[in-house]
Chains A and B, each alone.
Chain A
């Protein structure tokens, strides 16, 4: 019997091309999380440099940066179904991030990409967010 079960495979990557075949935007998975710099920043104060710096960049796999033509410290746009931010990119160290995955420290910017729905759990989906990456 066919049950019509929904696929649980993650959404296929959407790549948008311009006429000259340059990649314009691509869907990534964003994982916000704790970093020790962000943790120390909380203690110094959320309006101080350490916290602001720790929460103001996103890490990307170097191969993804090469493919999209993004340089270290260059600003990109991250857009989810719920919000949009502009943020600087930093190259992830060694093999820390697989291709297609982004990491940034929890903070005001990462929260702007979260939706309000908690799916009956009290917890908004705060990790593993689909975001569209675009050069600014």
Chain B
């Protein structure tokens, strides 16, 4: 249970605080809070410590309209006007805010007939497509901790992206059926470069760049006892068939295997076909033993965004609500595409920074259209926004719910209040204004 015990006037300890920097969503952090500053984050990793210690109260106005400081109320009215008047608006981001805010954002998208997309489309969106074609043999991180005796990572570098993955969930913990922890597990790492994570592996396999698909289908063939040409396998994957056969023998012999995969698969040539390959391999392995497969999710609540958008529309991302009912088509309704093709005429960007992360054509188009941005910090995206809000940080100032990468909901335990409004408050205000504009239009 969360406790907030003041030691003296300003200093307090928050137990079991939740870190929302990455998809691990570690909820065992002990924070020391001195007034409006977190001074210690016990148990947090290097990224979590940086997350907690660098989110103070921003000394900025809570709202800007066309670069000029404005009141939150004026900003909400202007934002609603921009979105309501647009013919092909885009609502994008959502992976670094609470489930409660995500729900309201989906409602706004529904009212204005927007394209609704989350940062999933540029991280594990291809995996979302593959889930629909191959299915997902899934598990919780608790199952991994208690059961997995073979842990594989493919195209993922948790040592730098999810630093507590190994120690809290997947490799080091002692579990019910792996009582000796690391000693009872075999760790396999497959990547195109020997990352910092490779040091943790018992077996490291370096494959040729852009050859994940070929390597995965080699393993699929071996799982199904299909004969392969050794020369072709070595030429395509950069590794001899004997090495893949040895790995497959180990996979078949384990009691409970799990494969975590990262954006090394989804961002490279093959994209959803790569994800489909790894999900299908997992399905194949269940003919021999128990195997599960999980994407290593990046942002703190990107899994929540997938869940909320799916509850509300039936699809996880890349949804168009322009016709009054949801349509799903990655490549057509996804943010990167509607911007790069110059289609969107207004946007609302929530807790995301496409102006730094999107392709040049998408960024150039975003600069030319009016858009609303919500972010706790100044970013390239807030700089160019027609209306930008400086919001309180979720998990540090704002309570709510987030989803861990294994779809387990976790409550947030904020450390201190912020004078800045939450995403939820701003979005509720915009929804109210959009409804007022809508009522006025229908009354005419």
Contact = CB atoms under 8 A, between A and B. Distances in A.
A69 interface: no
Contacts of B363: 111
Most buried by A among B50, B122, B208: B50
B264 A127 contact: yes
Contacts of B358: 111, 114, 124
B107 to A, nearest CB: 22
Given A34-B161, A46-B353, 19 more contacts: A9-B236, A31-B192, A33-B263, A34-B298, A39-B21, A39-B161, A44-B50, A45-B54, A96-B195, A107-B356, A120-B330, A121-B331, A122-B335, A122-B337, A123-B125, A123-B330, A124-B358, A126-B268, A128-B268
A53 interface: no
B21 A82 contact: no
B283 interface: no
Interface of A: 8-10, 29, 31, 33-36, 39-40, 43-47, 82-83, 94-98, 101, 103, 106-108, 111-112, 114-128
A127 B193 CA distance: 12
Contacts of B194: 94-97
Contacts of A95: 194
A98 B269 CA distance: 19
Contact of A116 (B117, B272, B359): B359
Interface in B311-370: 317-318, 330-332, 334-337, 340-341, 353, 356-363
Interface in B358-389: 358-363, 377-380
Contacts, number: 163
Q: Tell me whether chain A's interface is mostly helix, strand or loop, or mixed.
A: loop
A8 to B, nearest CB: 7
Interface residues of B, number: 64
Contacts of B332: 120
A111 B356 contact: yes
Nearest to B238: A98
Given A8-B214, A122-B125, A83 B360 contact: yes
A127 B46 contact: no
B50 A43 contact: yes
B406 to A, nearest CB: 20
A121 B125 contact: yes
B318 A128 contact: no
25 contacts: A34-B161, A39-B46, A39-B160, A39-B161, A43-B51, A44-B54, A82-B360, A83-B360, A96-B195, A97-B193, A103-B193, A108-B356, A116-B360, A118-B336, A118-B337, A120-B331, A121-B271, A122-B331, A122-B334, A123-B330, A123-B334, A124-B340, A126-B263, A127-B264, A128-B209
A103 B272 CA distance: 23
Given A97-B193, A125-B267, A114 B129 contact: no
